[in-house]
Copies of this chain bind each other. A is one copy, B any other.
């Protein structure tokens, strides 16, 4: 019952997509997320259904079986632990680690994740602020809420990002925003839901709605 790289990527995609919306995942959504065609998605879902990793065809949409979720969490755990190693031990930066971890997450060995976990000192979050599933598969609550859901005029602290793409992270680097940075939403522009945000108590910049929905914060001030 060994899983191919493609199978693992599908399981992970379904896992992440059903986390957000809490719903069954449609073919179209999966296709967009994996940058594959709907036809390809359907044939893979059939394969995963046959392997009893995915429930499908019942209604519209796919969801993970217990076994599928277990497999997905295992991949996510490996992905995030490798990211910690890459960042903390090998000195890679925020925007470099994700793509390497995409490859490392598919390395198979029954004890690998646990050894990494121990070596790294059982980290709770990866460098993007995402929770690392523990050895039993329990995932702690994401700390923080979306910047788009925050109140105007309150001091906020960045605790994570929702988007780990190097495109987004390079943008943040340019703005000198990282985990721990201070933000304050000064104004929301009604016209397009963009905002003026003060960074680290110095410069104020204009950012898009999409930006606001990609940053996780906690409020730390008045």
Binding site for B on A (CB under 8 A): 89-92, 96, 99-100, 103-104, 106-109, 111-112, 115-116, 119
B103/A115 in contact, CB under 8 A: no
B90/A116 in contact, CB under 8 A: yes
A103/B92 in contact, CB under 8 A: no
| Interface of A: prevailing SS | helix
Closest Cβ of chain B to A110, distance in Å, is 10
The 6 A-B residue pairs whose C-beta atoms are closest, nearest first, are A90-B115, A103-B107, A100-B109, A89-B119, A90-B119, A104-B107
How many copies of this chain does one complex carry? 2
Closest Cβ of chain B to A46, distance in Å, is 25
**Interchain CA distance A112-B108 in the complex, whole Å:** 19
Taking CB atoms, residues of chain B closer than 8 Å to A116 are 90
**Interchain CA distance A8-B222 in the complex, whole Å:** 57
Taking CB atoms, residues of chain B closer than 8 Å to A111 are 92
**Interchain CA distance A97-B17 in the complex, whole Å:** 35
Closest Cβ of chain B to A2, distance in Å, is 12
Taking CB atoms, residues of chain B closer than 8 Å to A107 are 100, 103-104, 107
**Interchain CA distance A119-B92 in the complex, whole Å:** 12
**Interchain CA distance A99-B119 in the complex, whole Å:** 20
Taking CB atoms, residues of chain B closer than 8 Å to A115 are 90-92
Beta-carbon nearest neighbor of A114 in chain B: B90
Closest Cβ of chain B to A82, distance in Å, is 9
Q: Of the candidates B89, B91, B99, B112, which one forms a contact with A100 in the assembled complex, judged by CB atoms under 8 Å apart?
A: B112
Beta-carbon nearest neighbor of A103 in chain B: B107
Taking CB atoms, residues of chain B closer than 8 Å to A96 are 109
**Interchain CA distance A106-B103 in the complex, whole Å:** 9
Beta-carbon nearest neighbor of A5 in chain B: B5
